[in-house]
Amino acid sequence: MPDLMQAAVVEAFGKPLVLREQSVPVPGPGQILVRTEACGVCHTDLHAARGDWPVKPVPPFIPGHEGIGIVVALGAGVTIVKEGDRVGVPWMYSACGHCEYCLSAWETVCPEIQFSGYTRNGGFAEYILADPNYVAHIPDGLSAVQAAPIICAGITTYKGLKETGARPGEWVAVSGVGGLGHLAVQYAKAMGLRVCAVDVDDDKLAHAKALGAELLINARERDPITALKDGTGGGAHGVLITAPSLTAFNQGVAMTRRHGTCVLVGLPPGDFPLPLFDVVAACITVRGSFVGTRKDMAEALAFAADGKVKADIELQPLSAINDVFDRLEHGKVPSRVVLDFGSQS
Ligand code: NAD
Ligand code: ZN
Ligand code: ZN
């Protein structure tokens, strides 16, 4: 094991990440050390590095919560993973395991939850510490670079779609078909749903069409609410808003069919007004959804291992992270960038 590793570190909010060498962490009791093979870059990492949200990480910290790698060292007492296993270190780094939420398979809202790349150092580094109770187990046959986007973008959209309650044959609208959304389209198709894709970028919409979306709406060119209601005969049974834009949230609730469910997943900073009369009189459910449980993780990965869902990835080295952030901020990343730590070697 080397003493030093390369890492991309947020030293101050809103400033470029600093590429530097730091000590390879040593796993304490109950922890494991993972040698990173790949780590996806999520828009959440950008929010983290900018300090966008009310609950902020404390710099210096290493972002990244789509890290996949090989277990290379075990802390005292670890028995449930072994050296050589391929695991993912997801956004839900750990939870307490015994509160009412953990006991009812709602560990994602555990008050003691820790977040990779936010309250714990994450995957923009050659090694990651992890809690073996909460790592994702990567199925055989799924490469590290392909698995990376599944452990955040995939699980989040898969769970979010389940939370819409939409049934096979019904319509879902996916607002924002970028990193999360291009996987949402595929999960929705695999779940037997009809898909309307809404975005502000024609290339992203063309990609969504190739992935099976039937109805495509550029919200910059026409009113997405009217277009969606016309195209689906009254609105989508389920709406999944992944777009990091408050405009999309206002539109998303209005795109929901009577008695339908609008699931909020994107996390742009700020608030948006809820049209009270419309929500009440049309019996619309508006609910938040936050990644997914370990069970959701296994299911989301199984879709990918079965070839029903495939992330469209662009590989980049860790050293390109600031350029990747810049492109992500300006909507110039086609789907998902995955930082490749030499996974092919
Ligand atoms: P991304 O940048 O890859 O994709 C965003 C997409 O939204 C792009 O295709 C962009 O063109 C589109 N978009 C922008 N403005 C729009 C608008 N007004 N209407 C429709 N589409 C619009 O980002 P991502 O990695 O997919 O993440 C999206 C959001 O989801 C971020 O805010 C991120 O923090 C959040 N997120 C939430 C969870 C969760 O558990 N709830 C998990 C992961 C990410
Ligand atoms: Zn994420
Ligand atoms: Zn708990």
State if pTM tops 0.95.
Answer: yes
What would the two tokens of residue 301 be?
């990965």
Shortest CA distance to 39 belongs to which of 156, 180, 145? Answer: 145
Q: Is the pLDDT of residue 345 over 70?
A: no
Closest ligand 1 atom to 41 CA: 25
pLDDT of residue 1: 86
In the chain, residues under CATH classification 3.40.50.720 are 154-288
How does pLDDT run across 210-249, given as a tens digit for each residue? 999 999 999 999 999 999 999 999 999 999 999 999 999 9
Q: How far apart are CA 95 and CA 91, in angstroms?
A: 11
Q: Is the pLDDT of residue 270 over 50?
A: yes
- How far is CA 115 from each of CA 110, 209, 270, 293, rounded to the nearest angstrom? 11, 34, 21, 13
Peptide bond into 317 cis (omega under 30): no
Question: β-strand 215-218 against 194-199: which pairing, if any?
Answer: parallel
How does pLDDT run across 206-216, given as a tens digit for each residue? 999 999 999 99
- Pick one of 3.90.180.10, 3.40.50.280, 3.10.129.10, 3.40.30.10 as the CATH number of 4-137+312-343: 3.90.180.10
265 lines ligand 1 (CB under 6 A): yes
Instruction: Report residue 317: phi and psi, to 5°.
Output: -80, 160
pLDDT of residue 183: 99
What type of residue sits at position 20?
A: R
How does pLDDT run across 155-191, given as a tens digit for each residue? 999 999 999 999 999 999 999 999 999 999 999 999 9
Q: How confident is the model at residue 78 (pLDDT cuts 50, 70, 90)?
A: very high
Instruction: Report residue 293: phi and psi, to 5°.
Output: -80, 180
Which of helix, strand or coil describes residue 136? Answer: strand
Please provide the average confidence, as pLDDT, over all residues in the chain.
97
Q: Is the pLDDT of residue 154 over 90?
A: yes
> What is the 8-class DSSP label of residue 266?
-
108 lines ligand 1 (CB under 6 A): no
- How far is CA 113 from each of CA 105, 134, 159, 160, 189, rounded to the nearest angstrom? 13, 11, 18, 19, 32
In the chain, residues under CATH classification 3.90.180.10 are 4-137+312-343
200 lines ligand 1 (CB under 6 A): yes
SS percent in the chain: helix, strand, coil, step 5: 30, 25, 45
292 lines ligand 1 (CB under 6 A): no
Q: Is the pLDDT of residue 199 over 60?
A: yes
Q: How confident is the model at residue 343 (pLDDT cuts 50, 70, 90)?
A: low
Rg (CA), the chain: 20
What is the distance in A from the centroid of ligand 2 to the CA of 302?
A: 19
The continuous run of DSSP H or E covering 294 comes out as helix 294-305
- Pick one of 3.40.50.720, 3.40.50.150, 3.30.160.100, 2.30.110.10 as the CATH number of 154-288: 3.40.50.720
